Amino acid sequence: MDANQHATAAGARTDGAARPDGAHAGAIVHPSAIVDAGATLGAGTRVWHFAHVCGGARIGARCSLGQNVFVGNDVVIGDGVKIQNNVSVYDAVTLEDEVFCGPSMVFTNVYNPRAGIVRKDAYRRTLVRRGASIGANATIVCGVTVGRWAFVGAGAVVKADVPDFALVAGVPARQLGWISRFGERLPLPRSGDAEARCPHTGERYVLAGGTCTLLPDPAPDQP
Ligand SMILES: CC(C)(COP(=O)(O)OP(=O)(O)OC[C@H]1O[C@@H](n2cnc3c(N)ncnc32)[C@H](O)[C@@H]1OP(=O)(O)O)[C@@H](O)C(=O)NCCC(=O)NCCS
């Protein structure tokens, strides 16, 4: 296959096995997926059945794009991102490293769409910061930032920025509390000043002025 051609089902293997795609050395593209010429896929990235990646997309290494995932042109996806089945990552969406997008969650890019009015110049950008998780069937209304290691519960509708390490859920999404990098609830109040450890890893978090921060590991004892 010409390196500048799509990795389309046409001429692809029919045994359903994933295969390395010549245009994206190091990535694995299922024969039923379409990766338009110009897209970049990092090493170890896997693109599963019936996915479509547009030519302007920039996708990092070790990502997984599940069945029926769509990635637009004006999209940047970092390393180690997992996008579950049936997710469309539309233009003006950026996903940093290690973001998790649950099955059938929804991004948007036009705030007030009308079929008869072109609003391609009015896209509102969405940024999902490093390590954040978005639960199944959640909807991110465009123009927001989901903070680092934040967690959006299944079915939530996010209309406002989500702070780093915040756990939000519901329609509209409200903050339930705080969550660690490991994905465990942190015993912290929603506001005020406090400290807590992740029950699983022991990592230390401090809440101050409405901001939750992961404290660096203490320096090892000097010999
Ligand atoms: C948010 C989540 C992680 C639960 O966190 P938790 O700390 O265990 O929360 P709890 O179950 O103790 O619930 C706390 C409260 O939030 C509510 N709640 C929890 N998840 C909710 C959700 N997704 N939407 C609305 N409310 C939710 C609970 O009903 C409970 O309310 P109450 O205090 O009035 O009884 C989980 O519900 C969730 O949504 N996980 C996402 C799963 C998913 O999408 N996976 C995708 C890969 S398959």
Distance 219 CA to ligand 1 centre (A): 36
Mutating to test ligand 1, I would choose from 104, 105, 176, 190 the residue with most ligand atoms within 8 A of its C-beta, which is 176
Residue 134: pLDDT over 80: yes
What percent of the chain stands above pLDDT 90? 85
Q: What is the pLDDT of residue 12?
A: 31
- Nearest ligand 1 atom to the CA of 183 is 3
What is the predicted pLDDT for the residue at 217?
A: 81
State which amino acid sits at residue 147: G
| Cβ contacts of 222 within 8 Å, gap of 6 or more | none
In the chain, domain spans = 3-185
Q: Is the pLDDT of residue 9 over 70?
A: no
pLDDT higher than threshold 60 for residue 63: yes
- Which CATH code is given to the segment(s) 3-185? 2.160.10.10
Beta bridge partners of 168: 152, 175
Between the CA of 60 and the centroid of ligand 1 the distance, in Å, is 30
**96 Cα to the center of ligand 1, angstroms:** 24
Contact residues of ligand 1, CB 6 A cut-off: 102, 135-136, 153-156, 169-170, 176, 185
- Which residue's C-alpha comes closest to atom 18 of ligand 1? 169
Which residue's CA lies nearest to atom 14 of ligand 1?
176
Give 129's contacts (C-beta < 8 A, 6+ positions apart): 96, 99, 145, 146, 147, 148, 149, 150, 164
pLDDT of residue 2: 36
Instruction: Quote the ligand 1 centre to 169 CA distance (angstroms).
Output: 7
pLDDT beyond 60 at 145:
yes
Query: Measured between alpha carbons, how far is residue 162 from residues 36, 48, 126, 128, 208 in Å?
Result: 33, 30, 12, 9, 16
Ligand 1, atom 3, lies closest to the CA of 153
pLDDT above 80 for 170: yes
- Residue minimizing CA distance to atom 25 of ligand 1: 170
11-45: per-residue pLDDT in tens? 333 334 454 454 577 999 999 999 999 999 999 99
| 140: exposed, middle or buried (Cβ count in 10 Å: 0-12, 13-18, 19+) | buried
Q: How much distance in Å is there from the Cα of 152 to the middle of ligand 1?
A: 9
* 8 A C-beta contact, residue 88 and residue 75: no
Closest atom of ligand 1 to 102 CA is 46
